[in-house]
Amino acid sequence: MNGDAALPTSAPRAIGVLPVMSIVLTGLASAAIIVAMPGLLAGMSTTIGLTDSQIALITSSEMVGTTATTLFVAAWLSRIDRRKAALVGLVLILSVNLLSAYATAFTTLIVARFIAGLAAGALQGILSASIAATPIPDRIFAIYLTANLTATTVMLALLSQLNAIGHPQWLFMSVVTLATLAILLLRWLPAGVAAHRPTDAKGAKPARGYGLSALLGTFILLIGVGLTWPLVGVLGLDRAMSGEAVARALSFATVGGIAASVLVSAMGDRAGRRLPISAGAAGLCIAVLIFMLDGGRASFTAAAFVYMFCWILILPYCAGLVATLDPSGRLSVLWVTMQFAGLAIGPIIAAGLLLSSADLPFYGSLICFGIAAALTLYAERGSRSAPAILENGSS
């Protein structure tokens, strides 16, 4: 039995260590601090006198900047030099995080974080296009996720120490360090269209319909996540768990995310994409049902672990899917935008649903996960038929 024939998407393919390191460091410089930002700004509120509304404005301004530039990169991807654009973005990231570390006023900080958002959006878009240009996008995205989740865990631990000595703003210096390292390795960032995949124009037409399905699938998936994950901490408190116990449960959930990304890093697409996407969506639904129906503390911790594991399990395969459907990388950039948009819209919808019932966001997430799985699996079918279409078109 010929193993290569049985697994056509998993033929031996290689990418150097330095390109992978360049991808990972570029991503970390633009996104690793996002999870730590609420705690970082809360800590800075005591040092420079930020109010709750000012903290919300700073967070919102950074997110708006990030979303705006991912759209710009998607529109201009074929016309820009990716490495030069990444260099500009990394220099901006380095500069504004340095400025943020020494900011003493709200105005300075919000301007710096808005510019950081603009740069981060551009870098995340270029990052996704660069991953799409590799021969193993699923695995490379999983490696990046592993590094990002690990860096996030380290940053949160570091933030706790910096808060203890009264200098939480020094956490921005970790981003300065990451940006400096990314600049040093920038020459190895993949910058072209994936040469291993066909790009005949006749194949573009069917891929577009599947591409839209993949984008909508990710958008609706992240709406479902946004409906529920921000409420998980409250669910723990409702179970009479202490704040420390909830924090431990969520830290354990992060380990689940790291485990999922390590698993995909090792497996790649050997089992295809249909099975992990289906299993991930089913696992998310099971976790949500446990949140809703079981009031136990142990089950809460287990459900949080399963939730994060399945959420992170799905994302690399979605990244690989859009890269396969559009080797130019434009669809991959829009995919990043869909993630930011879904995570931003989900909590807004949840806030409205909570006015009627505490359970409605969870029911809504179950619907979202089902629709997202259906759309993504439809797109996955298109990714498997696209190569044949392209080969026929070019013969």
CATH of the domain at 382: 1.20.1250.20
- Model confidence pLDDT, tens digit, residues 358-386: 889 999 999 999 999 999 999 998 776 54
In a domain? residue 7:
no
Residue pair 257/305 in contact by the 8 Å Cβ criterion = no
| d(C-alpha 308, C-alpha 150), whole Å | 14
- Total domain count for the chain? 2
Model confidence pLDDT, tens digit, residues 205-255: 445 589 899 999 999 999 999 888 888 887 888 888 876 788 788 878 888
Same structural domain, 206 and 179: no
Is the pLDDT assigned to residue 70 strictly greater than 90? no
Least confident of 75-84, 187-196, 264-273: 187-196
Question: pLDDT by residue (tens digit) across 295-352?
Answer: 888 999 999 999 999 999 999 999 999 988 888 888 888 998 898 888 888 888 888 8
pLDDT of 5 > 50? The answer is: no
* Residues 118, 178 within the same domain: yes
User: Is the pTM here over 0.85, yes or no?
Assistant: no
Residue 12 in any domain: the answer is no
Highest mean pLDDT among 137-141, 237-241, 253-257, 280-284: 280-284
Helix axes 204-228, 297-325, angle to 10 degrees: 160
- How many other C-beta atoms can be found within 10 angstroms of the C-beta atom of residue 18? 12
* Residue 328 or 20, more confident: 20
Q: How far apart are CA 66 and CA 96, in angstroms?
A: 14
Between the alpha carbon of residue 187 and those of residues 26, 83, 86, 183, 191, the distances in Å are 12, 7, 10, 8, 9
Query: Of the candidates 152, 167, 188, which is a domain's last residue?
Result: 188
CA distance 140 to 255: 19
Determine the pLDDT at residue 208.
56
Same domain, 121 and 176: yes
Same domain for 114 and 241: no
Within-domain flag for 278: yes
Establish if 1 belongs to a structural domain. no
Q: Please indicate, yes or no, if residue 274 is contained in any of the structural domains.
A: yes
Share of the chain above pLDDT 70, in %: 89
Q: Note whether 226 and 137 are same-domain residues.
A: no
Residues 22 and 165 placed together within one structural domain of the fold: yes
Give the pLDDT of residue 13.
Answer: 55
Same domain for 144 and 258, yes or no, is no
Domain end marker among 162, 188, 214: 188
The reply to whether 2 falls in a domain is no
4, part of any domain: no
154 and 89 part of one domain: yes
Q: Establish if 77 belongs to a structural domain.
A: yes
Between residues 312 and 388, the one the model is more confident about:
312
Q: Is residue 109 domain-shared with residue 250, that is, in the same domain?
A: no
Most confident of the following: 161-165, 252-256, 287-291: 287-291
On whether both 228 and 349 belong to a single domain, the answer is yes
219 close to 338: Cβ distance less than 8 angstroms: yes
- Cα separation, 133 vs 324, in Å, equals 10
Residue 6 has pLDDT above 80, yes or no: no
Domain span at 84: 17-188
Instruction: Specify whether 205 is located in the same domain as 276.
Output: yes
The answer to whether 314 and 281 have CB atoms below 8 angstroms apart is yes
pLDDT of residue 385: 59
Residues 234 and 319 in one domain: yes
Average pLDDT, the chain: 84
